[in-house]
Structures are given as structure tokens and as C-alpha cells.
Structure 1
């Protein structure tokens, strides 16, 4: 999802859980309300595609 893509951008790797946790918190805090609203607005289309594909993969 959006958080994992941000945390592991550019192939980031972490040596400690503390480093990973710090980046997760930083990236979580940087997600804008507009980005979240866009994701929420896309849910009906996402659900429709899942139903169309009988629960199979979608482009999302």
C-alpha cells in the first residue's frame, strides 16, 4: 500500500526495528488528507473491479 511504498522507496533497508519504526511514523505523518480522500473516493471502483474479477487480482 501507500505506506509500504513510501517506507521502502528507493530500496530502503533497515538495520534495526527502531529505524524502521521511525520511518513508518515519519511517512505516516506525511500522508496528506487529500491523498487519503483520493483513496477513499476510489473504493467503490475498487470494489466493483474485485466483484467483476470474482475476487481475483485488479490493477489496484
Structure 2
């Protein structure tokens, strides 16, 4: 049984995703942004620690 936003009308309720699916997307987007931030931070750290000639 899906929890649907009661503010949506009939057509929008038919297309609304279940709560677990919306939360899974939010978690996936959050995880992707954390991983992207980690990659950028590691690149900056590598760039700053590279030997200067």
C-alpha cells in the first residue's frame, strides 16, 4: 500500500510514486552527491600535495 500525497488530484495521484521509491531516489541522489564531493576533494588534495619543482 503506497502512501500518496492527499493534495494531488486524481490524475496526479495515479502517477505519484510510492513513498519507498521516492525515498530511495532521494538517498541515491544524496549518495551520488557525497561521492562526487569526495572525488573533487581527493583531486584537490592530490593537486595540493604534488611535489613542486
Q: Report the TM-score when normalising by structure 2.
A: 0.33
Q: Report the TM-score when normalising by structure 1.
A: 0.31
